[in-house]
Structure formats: C-alpha cells, structure tokens
Structure 1
Amino acid sequence: MKTKIIAGLAALVLIIGLLGVRVIKPSQVGVITTLGKVTRVAESGVTWVAPLISRVTKIDTSTKTVEGVYETSTRDMQTTTEYVTTLYSVDVSKVMDLYMKFLGNHQSSLIAPALATTVQDGVSTVSISELVSNRVELASSMTENARTMLEPYGINIVSMQITNHDFSDEYESAITAKIVAQEKVKTAEYARQEAEIQAETNKILSQTYDDNMKSKMFLEKWDGKMPLYMSGDSEMLNMLLPSGN
C-alpha cells in the first residue's frame, strides 16, 4: 500500500513537473509572470515555470517589418499618402521593462503611433516637390528621429524607407496641367528655332542664287576676249567686258 502511495505521488510530481515545461523558440524570449508579477525573462530553449500560477509571454526579438500607410501634410499644405516600410527589433536587455509597460502590446500601443508621428513630422518639414526629390534623405532623417523616440523603450529601429507616394487629385491635376504647359513652351521654342534656321537657310540660298545669276550674266555678255582694263572693284570684272556695241 505504501509503495502504491509513493508511486502515485511520484507520478503526480512528474505530471506537475511536465506541466511546467515551456519551450522558447530561437529569436524569442519568454517573460515569466507568477501570480501576476513579472519575475524573470527566459532565453530561447527549455525553461520551467510553476504550473497553474505562472505563465510565459513570448516576445519576438528577430527583425520585424512594418508596412505602414500614413496620411500626411507637407510644408506647403499639400495632402499626401506615404507608404513606408520600417524594420525594427526588440532589445533583449530591455524586454522586462517593455513588457511591464505595454504587456506585450508594444507593436500597437508604442511602435505604430511613434512611426505615424515620425512620418507626419518628417513630411511636414518639406514641400511636396522636395518630398519627391529628397525621398532618401527624408527617410534617413525619419529613421534617426524614430530611433531617438523608441530606443529608451528597447525598440531598435533598423531603417525606414519611403516606398511610394500618393498625392491628392487636385495636385495631380495641377502637375498634369504644368506638364502640358511646359510641353507647349517647348513646342513653341522648337518652332521659333525652326523658323530661325529656315530664315537663315533661305538667306544663304538667296545669296547663292544671286551669285549664280551674276555668273550667268557674266558668261552671257562675255565675247571671249579679256578686258583691256579693270577697276579696283573686280566683282565679276564689274561687268566691264565689252558689250559688243
């Protein structure tokens, strides 16, 4: 009888022991809470917690991607939609504090609002034309600002990239009108240059025609004899050849 009791107790202890086994995957840590109090952080591998009174919240520490779409306004009050890709990771050494403040909801409660603020603040410092031409520089500035904002909480911002813009219908219509106007100016300038070239060509052709006509007249009037004298102006012998009269 005593043997059965001992065996039963051993089996109960074994079951309780197995119930407390937890496996933490690579690139994760586990925040252990016992009776509602954070007690420790377990790294990847096998760990044990007290069954029934303890729980493990797993926090991913690998680099994660956030694809965000943000409604913004530029310095010149143009409404835009920015498509931004952000890479971030969690600092293992600050996981416990991060969990105690946000209870594992740091993505929605901390990171998302901070990124939205960073993007809006960044876009508000540039005009809409600068937003397009200085996209890389603006993304770099936003990355630094987001790092400054989130690093104290244990969030490491790896990078932020502006992948696309969407502009208001009014702005796109204005851009289209501007492009059309620029093309009209280019067309007018091309026509003016063509007219100048044609005028110069006509002038050269006219001069050539006059020279040819003078040569023809010279040959028609020349009797084959060399003139007895010439004046200082020898243009086509100044038509001084004898006329035959």
Structure 2
Amino acid sequence: MKRYWKPGILILILISFAFIGCQKVPAGYIGVKVYLLGSNKGVDSEELGVGRYWIGINEELYLYPTFTKTYVWTYDSQEDSESNESIDIQTKEGLTVNADVGIQFRIDPSKANILFQTYRRGIDEITDSVLRTAVRDSLNRLASAMTSDMIYGPGRVDLIEKATVAIRDEFIPKGIIVERLYWIGTMRLPEKVKQALDAKIEAIQKAESRENELREALAQAKIDKAKAEGTAAQIRLESQQLTPLMIQKLWIEKWDGKLPQNMMGDKTNILIPFK
C-alpha cells in the first residue's frame, strides 16, 4: 500500500509546482521575465505578450500596463495611497504651494525591457518614486520663475502644460508614454497668503466689471446720441421741405371734398351754419 502512495504524492507535488510556476500575462499588459540566478541573470531578450508562461524558481515576471493608467498624488488618504503624496512647489518668492497632481500614462510594449533595465522595478514602484520625483522636480523648476499669484491664478494651466511636455520628452525613450498631467482641485497656500490673493483677485474682478459697465455706458451714450442726431436731422429735413405750396398740396390730398359745416366770419366770433 505504501508503494502506491509515494508515486501519488510525487505526482501531486509536481502538479502543485506546475500550477505555482505557471503565471499569466493578462490582457492590457506586457510581461518581462527576469532571471535571478546563473549566467542568464538579467532580462529575457523578448517581452512576453498575453498568455500563460512557466516561471521557474530562479525567474520573476514583471507586468507593465499597455493601457492608459491613471494615478493621483494627493493629500487625501482615501485616494491611491494611504499616505500624503501631494507635491510641494516653490514659487519665485520662496513660498511653498501644495497641490494634488494626477498623471495618465502607459508603457510602450516595444520598450518594456528597456524600462526594466533602466529602473529594475515594477510599475507601482516606478509610479510612486521615479515618476513622482520627476514630476515634482519639473514643476519646481518651472515654478521658480513664477510668482504665487501667477501659479494660483491664470498661470497654473500654463505651468501644468509645460510640465507635461517636459515629462513626456524625458520618459518616452525609456518606454513610458506620459499622456497628460493635471491638477486636482485647488492649490493649498498658507491661509494669510490665500486671503491676500483672494482679495487681490476680487479687486481685479471688480475693476474689470466696472470697466465693462463703463464701456457699455459709453456705447449706449453713442447710440442715444446717434438716435437724437438722426431725429433732429429728420425734423430739419422735413421743415425745409414744408413750403406753403407743399402744405397746400398736402391739405388738398387729405380733403374729402366736403365743405365745412360751420365757418367763422371775418373778424367775428359768430359761427354761421351752412345748409
């Protein structure tokens, strides 16, 4: 009886190892098989497409997304990370502005080996450290020439767009295609600075509103003036045209052919009826 148990146990062990060693590259990913021991230590010569592969004890499989992946570095612990991953940005005045930043990117399947050889990390580690550090450095480099009111106001769009271009150019050769960077919510400033900037923005908006009202008033005044001048010109034209002959002609055109029923005598107030 014992003889039959030993081959059965061996078969079960082999099957277990087979299932353990068989790993899957799911749809939307590219795999990179890495040898951990021996002369082949390093990266396999070709990437692994979608499918199942045998990964030995001395091998490790890394998965990289070929679809668009979105990640946010935020102050909120309810987002992608429980820790504070928001980014501090130094302005031209040396003021620290804190912001939440999002990124959308994907991996170039033809450069997955290059990506691993460059960083020797999985996609989560690359996102948490490499990409975040690069984005932070790019934003700080660009913001160092901008004042806080520019970054907090209309300049924030230009800042994130320039950072996107810089990060995209840096990582395309390494196999990461950065589609865009974007702000999440409003920036966080020291409360006193925020109040001062809000007051300044409000004053600018009020001034612009008054300028618009003044332009509208001037435009309406010009319209009213033009209408008045047009009416006066029409009156002058009509008065010039109303000669005695023209008045008589208009009177004849309007006469219905009937004589008046009552007429006033010459130099008298008595009305004499005509029948």
* TM-score normalised by L of structure 1: 0.61
1:108 Cα shift? 3.0
Give, in whole Å, the separation in 2 of the partners of 1:183 and 1:100: 53
Say which of 138, 141, 144 aligns to 2:162.
141
User: How do residues 1-245 of structure 1 correspond to structure 2 at under 5 angstroms?
Assistant: 15=15, 19-34=20-35, 35=37, 36-39=41-44, 40-49=46-55, 51-68=56-73, 69-103=86-120, 104=122, 105-131=125-151, 132-163=153-184, 164-175=186-197, 178=200
Identity, % of aligned pairs? Answer: 22
Q: How many residues align?
A: 179
CA contact (8 A) 2:139 2:159 kept: no
Counterpart of 1:65 in structure 2: which amino acid? T
SS at 2:47 equivalent:
strand
What residue is the counterpart of 1:241 in the other structure? Answer: none
What residue is the counterpart of 2:250 in the other structure? Answer: none
CA contact (8 A) 2:89 2:136 kept: no
SS at 1:115 equivalent:
helix
CA contact (8 A) 1:114 1:150 kept: no
Q: CA offsets, 1:59-101, max 9 Å, x none?
A: 2332222212211122233321122211111111111121123
CA contact (8 A) 2:105 2:177 kept: yes
Which aligned segments of 4 or more residues in structure 1 are displaced greater than 6 angstroms? 179-185
* Unaligned segments of structure 1, at least 5 residues: 186-245
Higher deviation after alignment, 132-141 or 12-21: 12-21
* TM-score normalised by L of structure 2: 0.55
Q: CA offsets, 1:109-167, max 9 Å, x none?
A: 42111011112122222222222113222221111011122222211110111232111
CA contact (8 A) 1:84 1:160 kept: yes
Give the direction of change, closer, same or farther, for the CA distance of 1:161–1:11 in structure 2 (3 Å limit): same
Give, in whole Å, the separation in 1 of the partners of 2:18 and 2:176: 35
CA contact (8 A) 1:70 1:119 kept: no
Give, in whole Å, the separation in 2 of the partners of 1:182 and 1:106: 43
Give, in whole Å, the separation in 1 of the partners of 2:131 and 2:180: 13
Give the direction of change, closer, same or farther, for the CA distance of 1:75–1:179 in structure 2 (3 Å limit): closer
CA contact (8 A) 2:25 2:52 kept: yes
Give, in whole Å, the separation in 2 of the partners of 1:32 and 1:117: 32
